[in-house]
Amino acid sequence: MENTEPLIFERSSPGRHGYSLPESDVPAVAGGDTIPAHWQRDSLPLPEASELDVVRHFTRLSQRNYSIEHGFYPLGSCTMKYNPKVNDATAGLPGFSFIHPDQPESTIQGALALMHNLSQALMKITGYANCSLQPAAGAHGELCGVLMIRAHHVKQGNPRRKMIIPDSAHGTNPATAAMCGYTAIEVPSNTQGTVDMDALAALLDEDVAGLMLTVPNTLGLFEQDIVEICRMAHEVGALVYCDGANMNALLGTVQPAALGLDVLHLNLHKTFTTPHGGGGPGAGAICVNETLEPYLPVPLVSEDDGVYAWDYDRPDSIGRIHSFYGNFLNQVRAYTYICTLGLEGIKRAGEYAVLNANYLKERLRDAYALRYDRTCMHEVVFAGLKEKAEGVRTLDVAKRMIDYGFHPSTVYFPLIVPEALMIEPTETENKDTLDTFIAALLAIAEEAQSEPDKLKDAPVSAPVRRLDETTAARRPNLRWQPPE
Amino acid sequence: MDYVPHSSEDREAMLRAIGVAGTEDLFHDIPADVRHPTLNLPPGMAEPEVIRHLNALGRQNQNVQDMPSFLGAGCYNHFIPSIVSALILRGEFLTSYTPYQPELSQGTLQAMYEFQSLVCLLTDMDVANASMYDEATATAEAVLTACSITRRSKVIVPDTFHPTTLEVLETYAEGRELTLVRVPAFTLADDGTFHDCWEAVSAAIDADTACVAVQVPNFFGWVHECQQIADVVHANGAMLVVSADPVALGILTPPGAYGADIVTGEGHSLALPPAFGGPRLGLYATQKRFMRQMPGRVSGMTKDLDGKRGFVMTLQAREQHIRREKATSNICTNEALAALAFTINVSWLGPAGMRKKAELCLSKSHYAAAQIDALPGFTVTSPGPYIKEFVVHCPAAVRSVNEHLLEQGVLGGYDLGRVRAELNHHMLVCVTELTTRQDIDRLVAALKALG
């Protein structure tokens, strides 16, 4: 990997430029002719660089990144599977990239058809009655879903006040509940790593608006009591939100709607291979049963005899949650992926994701502590090293993975597992890759005993060594400053 | 086809290692009665078939590269140089995760830091985050943040703000006790002309006001004077949220210079093609004193163990994975790749390119406006200076004008009747540096037939 690269501002030199824009083909109007002088800026200290400077800079920055295309990226709950190149090719077609969202419907029939087809496919996979593609990310889908739950209760006459969330949940769940005006109430997990049913029963009352559950949960375990949980929630009029971050495990095996879950968000950037892009754009989709269907955001796409149109006529809708219709180009990618896989491919994706995770679990169980010794789904969570070593923490194990050529797994999440090490291999990794990774993790466990400094000093092979995060937060330097 | 690489030998070896007879044994926690439903999905396709299918769908859309388009209204077709897609499609950027492991993510983290710096320089603000979903959600979060900081609940917005942003704001505000006051900032004369009554916004501010949110240029394209509003806002202990078009900031005074407390904006026009409205790129910048209330991810510069410069995600104590229900927002995934595209493009443009882009918009929009205004029956009625969008009062309903234009192979401007029924003769026309004189002359010729 590239070792150093200055800031683009440090590559700048006055008078250089890279841009290429045409000369005006109409009489030139300067700012001063139409805009009062004091409304115009007097300086704009942006970098000045040639096109080659810019290309080199960002190429060199790219070489300071690890990616799926470099190697195994076993982050838990992130589903870092292969992002097929054909998806980028179709998303780049001018018929998708160069259409304006306010064009007349007659000129965008292909785009509307694609959104309609994708929605239909997601509904078939998940079993829901309807779906909106508007959320731009998973957390955005959560916001949308919980606002719909709220709208349902408001319609019943009382928004209610509480949202029950397991202690193993993603942080977005309580954050979303709070954004929607709910008090997050934590329900503990039992010794099996699933929801403690007695504790849940004690918390459920008619002030509970809903539950937010991740299925399978963040421990990679399927909630065996899920059907009963939904029944109990419904009995007090509460609805159940499913965080679909882990949907990859369930592809083709079970439709979340059939379990009684009322609303589900999908991360198209996890389960359906749209690239993560270093943190986004993602794409959510929010799927609902008949109870919540009236509250979906506007607009939806309707189809009548092969003609597609926007449907804004939804009086109970929560309204809009995005400027337009969500991250459309990622919808094109996800649709391309689903078309490619088809029925058999979808089933195989889920099946092999679970096979790969269980293989890792079995091969690593002698060296890493299994807190919940059960069949896992698409990911496995260890409570750090089985044989603890003096001064060696899970973070050290993770950083040492870098020196073996892998991206570290997720660490210290879920919060209920001490020294958590969370590994999600996905279905697109072959057995050789998994075996190499297993060998590395076994070697690291040995090093923890014999040469612990190798872990504590890791990584030594990355572009930088461990970074001072404390000073970064205490004395934040968040931007370049022009010289005085 | 699929992307599962396992041979049957691999599969058998793995099942043996796990100690189960088949994969079915791995799914026994799922209730048997709902396992393996009939999915009713079509069979998969080989790559040439997928491409053929998607090509066919794409060709059912008329795109703005193939016909002159005068649609803007929040989604713009500005020029994006070839280097942007070439660089952002590099797998190292495209297929990396959120940079939680900084040692392997220095490329993304440094690009985030550079993006934050560019946003600060364009807006003249102290700090910026690494992006929000879009301008609408950035503005909604800015308003909610202003309410939290001031512990007040009254939000004032002029009715010249983008109507969709206001809809998103209403959706976001649902869980909060918040009063949204929409102030009429223009009047419509009998002859269809717009008259500015911007002073009404200042007049609406009082000691209960949490914030005023204004847009520069506004939804209709003209620029409001904001210094006086800022003074009144601050005299009342409230905050000023400014949503600014970064292209216009190539010319306009940056909001930080007149005292904006939070600046948002839509960055897609400097990053990505229109793409049917997504991905977008929400910009969010603020003053240093509000840094720890800012939503979203932030990259910060620091040093590694050897004292070498490096970058990490920082101020994470604001975020959902640490603070959970006390987080400043639930946002995690943002629009990182679009932010990278923005960073590449603005670096390529530099100060001269930004200025030239804005001036090309200015020249071409004023040429178009003059040509249209000269047509019998058509009046350009923007009561303030504009850069790339202006309002035209048409002799017929815009809906029918646009149908006529489409028959002539031209995508007409935005029908303001969609926002407010009495504006159904008003068209919002958008002209960018990509609009040619030939495009404008074609529009004018087609309109002439209607005059």
Report yes or no: A218 at the B interface, CB cutoff 8 Å. Answer: no
What pLDDT does residue B323 have? Answer: 83
Per the structure, the count of domains in chain B is: 3
Domain ranges, residue B23: 8-53
Nearest to A464 among B43, B106, B326 (CB): B106
Residue B64 within any structural domain of the chain: no
Tell me, yes or no, whether A337 and A353 share the same domain: no
Nearest to B3 among A82, A102, A336 (CB): A82
Residue B75 within any structural domain of the chain: no
Tell me, yes or no, whether A279 and A158 share the same domain: yes
Rama region for B177: left / alpha / beta (φ>0; ψ in -120 to 50; rest): beta
Q: What is the CATH number of the domain that holds A293?
A: 3.40.640.10
Choosing among B101, B167, B252, B316, which should be mutated to test the A contact, i.e. which has the most A CBs within 10 A?
B101
Contact check, Cβ <8 Å, A178/B326: yes
Tell me, yes or no, whether A262 and A392 share the same domain: no
pLDDT at residue A328 is higher than 90: yes
Please check whether residue B312 is in contact with residue A467, taking contact to mean a CB–CB distance below 8 angstroms: yes
Tell me, yes or no, whether B245 and B387 share the same domain: no
Its pTM stands at: 0.98
pLDDT at residue A1 is higher than 80: no
Tell me, yes or no, whether B302 and B320 share the same domain: yes
Q: Regarding beta strands A263-267 and A239-244, do their DSSP bridges make them parallel or antiparallel, or are they unpaired?
A: parallel
Residue A252 within any structural domain of the chain: yes
Tell me, yes or no, whether B294 and B396 share the same domain: no
Residue A72 within any structural domain of the chain: no
Report yes or no: A348 at the B interface, CB cutoff 8 Å. Answer: yes
Tell me, yes or no, whether A122 and A193 share the same domain: yes
Domain finish residue from A341, A363, A397: A341
Tell me, yes or no, whether A275 and A369 share the same domain: no
CA of B393 vs chain A CAs: smallest distance (Å): 19
Residue A405 within any structural domain of the chain: yes
In the beta sheet, which residues pair with residue A12?
none
Domain ranges, residue A150: 87-341
182-201 in chain B: CB under 8 A from chain A:
none
Tell me, yes or no, whether A298 and A360 share the same domain: no
Per the structure, the count of domains in chain A is: 2
Tell me, yes or no, whether B103 and B12 share the same domain: no
Residue A66 within any structural domain of the chain: no
Q: Which residues of A touch B316 (CB under 8 A)?
A: 473
Tell me, yes or no, whether B39 and B99 share the same domain: no
Residue A43 within any structural domain of the chain: no
pLDDT-derived band at A81, boundaries 50, 70, 90: very high
CA of B309 vs chain A CAs: smallest distance (Å): 8
Residue of B nearest to A42 (CA): B253
What pLDDT does residue B176 have? Answer: 85
Residue A174 within any structural domain of the chain: yes
Nearest to A343 among B28, B39, B90 (CB): B39
Tell me, yes or no, whether B355 and B336 share the same domain: no
Tell me, yes or no, whether B401 and B283 share the same domain: no
Residue of B nearest to A100 (CA): B276
36-75 in chain B: CB under 8 A from chain A:
36-37, 39-45, 47, 50-51, 53-66, 69, 71, 73-75
Tell me, yes or no, whether A321 and A358 share the same domain: no
Peptide bond into A74 cis (omega under 30): no
2-21 in chain B: CB under 8 A from chain A:
2-6, 10-11, 13-15, 17-20
Please check whether residue A291 is in contact with residue A152, taking contact to mean a CB–CB distance below 8 angstroms: yes
Average pLDDT on A291-318 reads 98
CA of A388 vs chain B CAs: smallest distance (Å): 23
Tokens of B413: 């401007």
What is the rounded distance in angstroms from the CA atom of residue A157 to the CA atom of residue A381?
Answer: 42
Nearest to A41 among B19, B253, B344 (CB): B253
Residue A47 within any structural domain of the chain: no
Tell me, yes or no, whether A309 and A385 share the same domain: no
Residue B1 within any structural domain of the chain: no
Tell me, yes or no, whether A221 and A105 share the same domain: yes
Tell me, yes or no, whether B335 and B378 share the same domain: no
CA of A475 vs chain B CAs: smallest distance (Å): 9
DSSP A361-392: HHHHTTTEEESS-S--SS-EEEEEESS--TT-
Choosing among B161, B276, B401, which should be mutated to test the A contact, i.e. which has the most A CBs within 10 A?
B276
Residue of A nearest to B113 (CA): A479
ipTM above 0.90, yes or no: yes
pLDDT at residue A323 is higher than 70: yes
What is the rounded distance in angstroms from the CA atom of residue B264 to the CA atom of residue B216?
Answer: 10
Domain finish residue from A310, A341, A372: A341
Report yes or no: B315 at the A interface, CB cutoff 8 Å. Answer: yes
Residue B317 within any structural domain of the chain: yes
pLDDT-derived band at A484, boundaries 50, 70, 90: confident
What is the rounded distance in angstroms from the CA atom of residue B24 to the CA atom of residue A243?
Answer: 24
Tell me, yes or no, whether A392 and A308 share the same domain: no
Residue A387 within any structural domain of the chain: yes
Nearest to B276 among A111, A181, A222 (CB): A111
Tell me, yes or no, whether B265 and B296 share the same domain: yes
Domain finish residue from B325, B345, B365: B345
CA of B60 vs chain A CAs: smallest distance (Å): 5
Contact check, Cβ <8 Å, B61/A402: no
Contact check, Cβ <8 Å, B320/A318: no
Tell me, yes or no, whether B338 and B384 share the same domain: no
Phi–psi pair at A30, nearest 5 degrees: -90, 160
Contact check, Cβ <8 Å, B325/A175: yes
Domain finish residue from B328, B345, B362: B345
pLDDT digits (tens, 9 = 90+) for A457-483: 999 999 999 999 999 999 999 999 998
Tell me, yes or no, whether A325 and A413 share the same domain: no
Residue of B nearest to A108 (CA): B61
- Name the average pLDDT for chain A: 96
Residue of B nearest to A353 (CA): B4
208-247 in chain B: CB under 8 A from chain A:
223, 225
What pLDDT does residue A2 have? Answer: 61
Q: What is the CATH number of the domain that holds B206?
A: 3.40.640.10
Report yes or no: A100 at the B interface, CB cutoff 8 Å. Answer: yes
pLDDT digits (tens, 9 = 90+) for A357-380: 999 999 999 999 999 999 999 999
User: At B139, is the secondary structure helix, strand, or coil?
Assistant: helix
Question: Among residues of chain A, what percentage have pLDDT more than 70?
Answer: 99
Burial level of B47, CB count in 10 A (0-12/13-18/19+)?
A: middle
Contact check, Cβ <8 Å, B134/A349: no
Count H helices and E strands in chain B, helices first. Answer: 13, 15
Report yes or no: A37 at the B interface, CB cutoff 8 Å. Answer: no
What is the rounded distance in angstroms from the CA atom of residue A422 to the CA atom of residue A75?
Answer: 7
Phi–psi pair at A454, nearest 5 degrees: -60, -30
Domain finish residue from A341, A363, A395: A341
Domain finish residue from B345, B360, B385: B345
Helical residues (DSSP H) of A21-108, grouped into ranges: 31-34, 51-62, 85-91, 94-97
Q: Regarding beta strands B186-188 and B194-196, do their DSSP bridges make them parallel or antiparallel, or are they unpaired?
A: antiparallel
Tell me, yes or no, whether A291 and A363 share the same domain: no
Report yes or no: A66 at the B interface, CB cutoff 8 Å. Answer: yes
Contact check, Cβ <8 Å, B171/A22: no
Chains A & B: contacts with CB separation below 8 Å? 681
CA of A96 vs chain B CAs: smallest distance (Å): 6
H helix or E strand, kind and range, residue A300: strand A300-304
Contact check, Cβ <8 Å, B135/A323: yes
pLDDT-derived band at A444, boundaries 50, 70, 90: very high
A134, A397, B72 from A141: Cα distances, Å: 8, 34, 27
Residue B230 within any structural domain of the chain: yes
Walk along chain B (451 residues) in steps of 10 and give the mean pLDDT of each run.
96 98 96 94 98 98 97 98 98 97 97 98 98 98 97 97 97 90 96 94 97 98 94 98 98 97 98 98 98 96 97 91 86 96 98 97 97 97 96 97 97 97 97 98 96 70
Residue B67 within any structural domain of the chain: no
Tell me, yes or no, whether B286 and B413 share the same domain: no
Tell me, yes or no, whether B122 and B176 share the same domain: yes
Buried b (16+ CB within 10 A) or exposed e, A18-48: bbebeebebeebebeebbeeebebeebebbb
The sheet that has B154-158: what strands, in order across it?
Answer: B127-128, B282-286, B262-266, B239-244, B209-216, B154-158, B179-183
